[in-house]
Amino acid sequence: MGAVEIILGILVILVSLVIIVAILLQPGRRAGINGVISGGADTFLSKNKARDFDAFLARWTKYVAILFFVLAIVANIIALRG
């Protein structure tokens, strides 16, 4: 196993951990129901702040997932050549 394969393997593991963290940080689809049922009212500014962070997480999850697939394909190609 060459140094390039080891480096790519480590990168794939790190990127997969980043994907896991990004997905776990995203709220579920039913997150807003609890506030309605319990009577909790959020201010307008806090709702927009949450939406901005959710959009940021969703966008970066897509980028990291694409990076993961590219790294996995490149690692597979390198492994098959060697």
The reply to whether 65 falls in a domain is: yes
Decide if pLDDT at 42 tops 60: no
The reply to whether 32 falls in a domain is: no
Decide if pLDDT at 45 tops 90: no
State the pTM of this model. Answer: 0.69
Token pair of 75, please? 């690692």
The reply to whether 24 falls in a domain is: no
Residue 74: domain span = 44-82
Helices (H), 1-82: 3-25, 33-38, 44-81
| pLDDT bracket for residue 50 (50, 70, 90) | low
Cβ atoms within 10 A of the Cβ of 18, count? 16
- What pLDDT shows up at residue 13? 96
| pLDDT bracket for residue 51 (50, 70, 90) | confident
The reply to whether 10 falls in a domain is: no
